[in-house]
Amino acid sequence: MEFVQPIRSLKHIETIKRLLKQQNLRDYCLFTVGINSGLRISDLLTLTINDVIEKGKIKDRIRLREMKTNKFKDFPLSDNAKSAIKEYLKTREYKPNEPLFISRKNKGFLLRQQAYKIINDTAKSIGIKEKIGTHTLRKTFGYHAYNNGYDITLIQKLFNHSTPAITLRYIGITQDELDNVYLSLDL
């Protein structure tokens, strides 16, 4: 597996969202929920309608069992994620146990390879040079949480990492960014 990067630029994130929204609301929803939840792609792609809808309304929270860790994860949906889900589901008919992100070919769950192609192709189309993949969504969530001032140990806990150092490396905090702490303080 290649080491992929987060999308660091908010402008790039907004451009990707705009492009995906124009092309395919499923893909826009996948991207938006992914960067706002920090879920692993294996958990994101296996979400069902029941996971996000209750009594015809978008849920405020998602509760699931993580595939990798087998631990329960319970988290609130952001307004952007809820809005993307609502907009996407207006475009399709669905039953409660169906996949949220449905494959157009076989009507089953969207495959990881297809999700990779969607994310990677869109990122490349707007000029992003770093390696981008499905894990980019999760890393983007962590990177921006960190840059918005959330404590690294909190992000570590959200990601179930064993140390803050692993989380910093995982979200792509570079030596230049660490050096900037020294240079910008200049007390």
Q: Which residues are tagged catalytic?
A: 40, 68, 135, 138, 161, 170
Q: What's the length of the chain?
A: 187
Q: How many CB atoms lie within 10 A of CB 130?
A: 13
Residue whose structure tokens are 């329960």: 72
Q: What angle do CA 22, 105, 94 make, to 5 degrees?
A: 75
Tokens, residue 91: 């475009």
Q: How far apart are CA 35 and CA 74, in angstroms?
A: 16
Task: Give first-to-last CA distance, the chain, whole Å.
Answer: 42
Tokens, residue 150: 């959330």
The packing angle between helices 79-89 and 25-37, to 10°, is 160
Tokens, residue 28: 């826009």
Provide φ and ψ at 75, rounded to 5°: -150, 155
Q: Are 42 and 112 in contact (CB under 8 A)?
A: yes
